[in-house]
Amino acid sequence: MATSTDPAALYPDIAAKGSLGAALQAVTVKDSLSVPIAVSESDPLGHAIVASEAPHRNDLVISAWAVERRWSIRGCESFQDMALIEGNTQDLSQIASVAQAWRAGTALSDIRQDAPFVRLTGRFEVPDHDPVQLAESEWQHLRTEAHEQDWPEYQALVEAAYSERALRELYPFTSHWTLRFSTSTRPYLTVIPMSLDAHRDTRYTVSAHYMGEVLAETTTAQEAVSTAVRYLPSGLGPVTSGAASAA
């Protein structure tokens, strides 16, 4: 495994092409793909960008690792700039294939099927930016993330919160693994001053606000969620768009 802090030493072939974008473009030609690759002006050896033809997708960002020869991808939706796909590989041909699929608007599941290195974050695409669907997408991301952790208490907390309708109808997010809620989506959250924490000793806490006064401690996730619901403000309506919250 090649390791270095000098990009030219780690990626001599990329340096010879002048940029990661140029090297990827050469791969697409060799593989008979049609993908315009943009060169990063600030870091030509370390980054490249592929624009998507789907308006609800941001550019696919390709990044070179700093101490190991490997590349990462990150593809986000356009409204909140939250990741839909991530992954890393040592094979530029795989990167080029994903770049073409991302650009063409290929379904996320099909991208993953064709390129196993791709990780689906659990979020799904919401082309019309409907806030209720964006909230559900974020819940699916948190559930996916929780199942990927070696932390059964946290997984139980997320699942218990999702099963409670009063919380499921809110927009969820986390701060250092603290589960929090908003009445609006990103990019401008309207945060409810109440949070939930799971601990690795089968203990859960409900706090008045993030890292604030502890309102209750419980021994089950369901008890914590039931307690949290009692502390929710009254009159909460359907989740709204975070873009409108900026007005």
Per-residue pLDDT of the chain (247 residues; tens, 9 = 90+): 555 568 889 999 999 999 999 999 999 999 999 999 999 999 999 999 999 999 999 999 999 999 999 999 999 999 999 999 999 999 999 999 999 999 999 999 999 999 999 999 999 999 999 999 999 999 999 999 999 999 999 999 999 999 999 999 999 999 999 999 999 999 999 999 999 999 999 999 999 999 999 999 999 999 999 999 999 999 898 999 998 655 4
DSSP letter (8 states) at residue 40: P
Whole-model pTM?
0.93
> If you search the block for the tokens 């997984």, which residue do you land on?
155
Q: Which two tokens stand for residue 172?
A: 């969820």
Helix (H) or strand (E) holding 48: strand 47-50
How many whole angstroms separate alpha carbon 206 and alpha carbon 179?
Answer: 10
Distance of CA 111 to the CA centre of its chain: 16
Q: Under 8 Å CB-to-CB from 41, ≥6 apart: which residues?
A: none
> If you search the block for the tokens 């370390």, which residue do you land on?
46
